[in-house]
Structures are given as C-alpha cells and as structure tokens.
Amino acid sequence: MATVLVIGSGIAGLVAAIHASERHDVVVVTKDVLGQSNTRYAQGGIAGVMFDDDRVEDHIRDTLLAGAGLCDEDAVRVLCTEGPARIRELIDFGVSFDRDGADFAKGLEAAHSYPRVLHAGGDATGAAIETALVTTLAARAVPVLEHTFLRDLLVDHGAVHGALLQSTERGVFTIEADHVILATGGLGQLYPYTTNPSVATGDGAAAALRAGAVLADVEFVQFHPTALTLPGSFLVSEAVRGEGAVLRDAAGRRFMVGLHPDAELAPRDVVARGIAEAMAAQGGRPVTLDATSLGAERLAARFPGIDEQIRASGVDWSTTPVEVAPAAHYWMGGIATDLDGRTSVPGLFAVGEVARTGVHGANRLASNSLLEGAVFAARAVAAIDAERGGAQDHRPVLPPHTERIDLAPSGGQSDSAPSTITPFSREALHTVMWAHAGLVRDASGLRAAKQTLDGWARSTASSASAAESTRAAEDANLLLLARSVVAAALHRTESRGAHARDDFPLIDAAQAQPVAVSSAPVPHPTLPEDHPLVNGTVLAPC
C-alpha cells in the first residue's frame, strides 16, 4: 500500500483518486470546492467508439488528422482503444448519457468522421460526469482538502515526495506522499478571453517545471471558435454547429464555406482563425452564429444550458443569430509524460489537461479531452500498482529527436536589450499574450513579448516568497508559463495546428517533433518554524 496525493478534482483527478482508493491511502487536494474544474463546464461530450458501426481505427485516424502530424500514435491508440471501457466505467459510476430510444444519442463534432460523441443533459456532460465522480469518491470516504492551493512540490534527491500547500484554514503546510498525481488542468487564465474558470492558472505545470520536470508542446493553445461576446466568454458548444448552425459575417455570408471543405465543422484552429480573419475584415466586430434553422423547441431540448444562458442575455437565438468570437479554451501542451502518466521526475505523475501525453498533437480533436482524463488517470494508478509490486516498465516521456529549450532563470540575464516596461499585473500579462502569443503570431511580436516577460520575471523574482498571497503565486505561475509558451512559439518556425505564424505560414515537415521546455530546479520556499503562516506538517497516512 502506498500513500498517493492527488492534486486536482476534474475528471482526471477524481478517476485517479477513485482507482487509487481501492488499494492505497489517498488524499485529494483541490483549489476550490470539490468539483469546480474545467470538467464541470464541458458541454459537448465525450468521444468514444460505443456504436457497432463505428471503428476504433476511424477514431484513431480522426485524432491523428486533427493533431496535424504531431500526435504520439502509440498514445492515440491507447486513448481510442481503452476509451470505451472508461466510458462504461463512468456509466457504472452513475453518469446517465442521453438516449435516443434504447441507444445512446449520437453527437457530431468538428473533424469527426462519425457521430461518436456521447452527451448528458443535452449540453451538461461535464457537470453530469463531475457530479457522478464526486458522489463515487464520497462513498469511498477519501479525505478531501478544499480551498487548498498548490504552492510547490517537495523534491529530495531529484524525486518528488509531496507538496507544499496553503489554505486559509491551515496556513502553509506540507503533505508527504509516495506518489503525487497532478491533475490541475490548464492555463486558460493566461489570456483575457477564455472559456476556463478562474482556477485555471497553470499551478501544477509551473510547480512541475520548478521541480525539474520537462514540459512539451506548450506553444499549442487551442482557441475555441465560438464563445459568446459577453463577460465570461461563455462557450457555445461545437455540437451546436454539429446540429446545423452556421457562421456568418456582418454581410450575412457563410465565410467558412470558402475556407475549408468541412466549413463550420473544420478543425477548431481552422474555424477560429477563419473567424479572426472575418472579424479583422469588418473592423473587429464579432461574427454571428446562426442557429435559427434549428427552431426554439430543438434548441431548448438539445442545448438547455446554452439556451438558458443566451436567453438570459436578452437574445432569442431561435430567431436571431448570436455574436461569437474565439477564446482560449484548451492547452495541448503540458508536463511531458509516458503512456502511464509518469513524468521525467520520479514520484510525480500528471494526468488530464496538465499533462502532455501526446494524444492531442498540435490541435485536440473535439471531445477527446474528457476521454484522455479518464483513460490516463486509470493508467497512472495501474502504473503505481505495478511499481509497488516490483514491476518496472518505464518509457521515455518524449522521443529522442525532441527539440529542447532551457528557460533562463527568472533573475538571470536576458538576451533582450533592457527597456522600460509597464509594471507587471495580470491584466498587463493578458494584453501581451493576446496581442503577441494568441491566435496568430510572428517573430517581431514574440520577441517583444519575450523581452517584456523576461523583464517582469527579473523584476518580480526578488519579491517572491512563500508567504505571498495566492493571487500573487498564481500570477508567478502564469508568468513562468507565459515565458515557456513564448519561447516555444519563437522556436517553432512554422504554422501547425493551433500554432499559426504569419511569417511562417506553412507546415514544415522537418519540424514534426515536440519542442520541450525545461528549467533548472528551483528549491521550494521555506519558512521558519515560528512563521505565523506555518501550521504544522500534515502527513498522508502510512
């Protein structure tokens, strides 16, 4: 029996905790309340081969095509082959997917050759999954620490053995564990317009980078094409377009028809950039999503949550198209792992959006994210079980031909000329990232971003401390990851999937390999024993 610390409570974290609780002592840490995660906001559904006339090979092919030549085919095969069993497990946990008579209702989303997407509550799939998993975990009596922030990982002799945490109730404290599973989600809050909740500040990835772990594919940030142009960037699921809604410019023209054979159901990066081009041509005004052909009854029945949200804004979308624009949605990159969630640091696993398993490549296929979380969470726990039994079957986290970038220490010298920059703030960071590392990039903008980010890193390094506020620690994490994204985006001199460069508009076959980012390990902050924030050490049960 091992002690396992799971950090994060979306589908990946909860599946990992449920599986681990069968054989190990487990503690779950979550930044907000249990169940507050990107998973809860997932509308479209979960993809998997659950129908007799669908094929695993077709799901594999669709995933590889969407990944634009950068997927790890072995990881994709694991995802699509093991996915159906994980979906059936979710059903056993209590997820009630929508039915069409006796069969599951089929949903079609972009870049799928078959309508294999299962949904629940119409457009509330993530919430249904989250609720079922939280209920299952509660029945296992697994200890859960809510409102607890990951400050850093505990590293000794190159291996992770726990985490430094902070909460309003306990102050700063540690939990020691044989294995730490990071399931902390992505970095959507790196951008001003995002479909992600406020907790998505990249804490797990930043902590792993400071602990010496390797990140990869960090330049690939997926922008969802259709977020409502309202505060909060509320997502309008791709499934709406799958049901027949179309995109129109200010003149009422279906502009995607001329840009891709699949029009509105082209891969997300294609649709997002098509919208951006249309918006630029009309002075920055949003485009519209026209779902009027579906009718009020069908919209309310198939998309009850979206229907309610749009109508609450004062629009009847059954008669009037709604304004939409792209927003940061999903991070294809993350902590590099093998097929079992192992990272490059012993003792540390990563699953879900925080992990770079290789299944998404340069652009994630719609509704593969929930599937990835469930599949690789289960595999990570199985790997822990095998290690406890003496089995060793480690695979490198990245292929040997990976390109590598080492980030300079935040307090070190920059290769950029010194300049006067605006003071650091999250809002200023948003402005830089949206302008220079958003939907479309170029060398000039990325170099300007790098100079600003490096300057901020130098100016804020001396003020960082273990006693800083959670908001300040989140900002430090976002800044570290922003530097990683920009460095990798500068290095990748091509356009591939979600990474588009005006100055290198074509795919370069010679660059069909991951770009890895690493940094010299940073010792976690220490506090004197009599510091007012220190409230003892909490050890996972042995």
Task: Provide the token pair at 33.
Answer: 């309340």
Integer Cα distance of 148 and 8 in angstroms: 10
Do residues 505 and 202 lie in contact, with contact meaning Cβ atoms separated by under 8 Å? no
Handedness of CA 45, 50, 52, 56 (dihedral sign): positive
Decide if 268 is catalytic. yes
Integer Cα distance of 426 and 443 in angstroms: 23
Do residues 20 and 11 lie in contact, with contact meaning Cβ atoms separated by under 8 Å? no
Integer Cα distance of 383 and 391 in angstroms: 9
Buried-state track 1-10, b at ≥16 Cβ within 10 A, e below 16: ebbbbbbbbb
**Residue 338 backbone class (left: φ over 0; alpha: ψ -120 to 50; beta: rest):** beta
Integer Cα distance of 227 and 193 in angstroms: 9
Do you know the residue count of the chain? 542
Reduce the DSSP state of residue 102 to 3 states and report it: coil
Task: Provide the token pair at 116.
Answer: 């294999």
Integer Cα distance of 41 and 33 in angstroms: 14
Element (H, E) at 60: helix 56-66
Q: Point out the catalytic residue in the list 77, 116, 268, 379.
A: 268
Distance of CA 61 to the CA centre of its chain: 22
Integer Cα distance of 365 and 44 in angstroms: 12
Integer Cα distance of 64 and 56 in angstroms: 12
**538-539 and 515-518 beta bridge pairing:** unpaired
Instruction: Name 416's Cβ contacts closer than 8 Å, sequence gap at least 6.
Output: 447, 450, 451, 454, 455
User: Hey, which residues are catalytic here?
Assistant: 268
